């Protein structure tokens, strides 16, 4: 299941992230995926203070987003990494590694996330293309918008043919490892949030029984 968060970032944050991107050193994306023969992009040098400020800013936005919180059940989130595609750059179809190392921590990638930072009109091509049972979903978000998708899917970034694609990418370890269970908890949680007050106390307790006991079964801890 997918989540699109339209206004994850405020306009001022998008502006600051673009400024950071303009003043930060970018390195070959293969730095973190040396074995990949399809990755052809650039990413912020994580040693740069700008790269760290960018990660912090986006992490804060995740923290205040109810959609992100309720959908992901995030346990660990990798520091979001600014990523740029100039004309001719692309990231061919691939599957994200099941685990990534962040410092001493290992993060299981249950969900992948792209945060869009520049105007879709500012570049041609560059759609995030996710394969779903043989169909392709092509996504090009507005500035400040995030898309969260299961890391289990084949996906790629189509070649940028004009302009520049600027995004931040990250990976999430969820407290609910199984995607179907996560989706059930999300939908039930949404129903609870919107409707629990409209049913009788007795039925609300029934709903509570189902929701709390499914969480007991499926939350890692």
127: partner contacted, choices Fe ion, ligand AKG, none (Cβ within 5-8 A by kind) = none
Minimum CB distance to ligand AKG smaller for 5 or for 185? 5
Question: In angstroms, what is the minimal distance from the CB of 169 to ligand AKG?
Answer: 5
Would you state the structure tokens that stand for residue 194, as one six-digit string? 């919107």
From the list 210, 135, 129, 151, the residue with the least C-alpha distance to 1 is: 151
Distance between CA atoms of residues 55 and 61, nearest Å:
10
Does residue 82 interact with ligand AKG by CB under 6 A?
Answer: no
Distances (CA, A) of 211 to 27, 137, 191, 204, 215: 46, 31, 10, 10, 6
Site string for Fe ion, 75-104 (x = CB under 5 A): ---------------------x--------
Contact between 199 and 211 under an 8 Å Cβ cutoff? The reply is no
Q: Is 155 annotated as a binding residue?
A: yes
Binding site for ligand AKG (CB under 6 A): 83, 91, 96, 114, 128, 155, 157, 167, 169
Binding annotation for 2-oxoglutarate: 165
Binding annotation: 94, 96, 155, 165
């Amino acid at each position: 299941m997918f989540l699109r968060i339209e206004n994850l970032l405020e306009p001022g944050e998008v502006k600051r992230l673009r400024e950071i991107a303009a003043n930060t050193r970018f390195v070959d994306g293969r730095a973190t995926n040396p074995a990949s023969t399809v990755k052809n992009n650039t990413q912020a040098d994580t040693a740069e203070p700008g790269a760290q400020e960018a990660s912090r800013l986006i992490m804060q936005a995740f923290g205040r987003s109810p959609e992100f919180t309720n959908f992901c059940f995030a346990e660990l989130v990798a520091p979001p990494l600014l990523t740029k595609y100039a004309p001719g750059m692309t990231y061919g179809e691939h599957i994200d590694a099941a685990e990534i190392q962040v410092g001493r921590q290992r993060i299981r990638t249950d969900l992948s996330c792209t945060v869009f930072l520049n105007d879709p009109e500012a570049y041609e091509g560059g759609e995030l293309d996710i394969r779903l049972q043989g169909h392709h979903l092509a996504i090009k978000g507005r500035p400040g918008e995030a898309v969260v998708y299961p890391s289990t899917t084949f996906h790629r970034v189509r070649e940028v043919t004009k302009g520049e694609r600027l995004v931040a990418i990250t990976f999430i370890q969820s407290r609910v490892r199984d995607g179907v269970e996560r989706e059930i908890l999300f939908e039930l949680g949404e129903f609870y949030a919107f409707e629990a007050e409209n049913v009788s106390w007795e039925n609300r307790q029934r709903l509570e029984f189902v929701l709390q006991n499914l969480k007991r079964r499926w939350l890692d801890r």
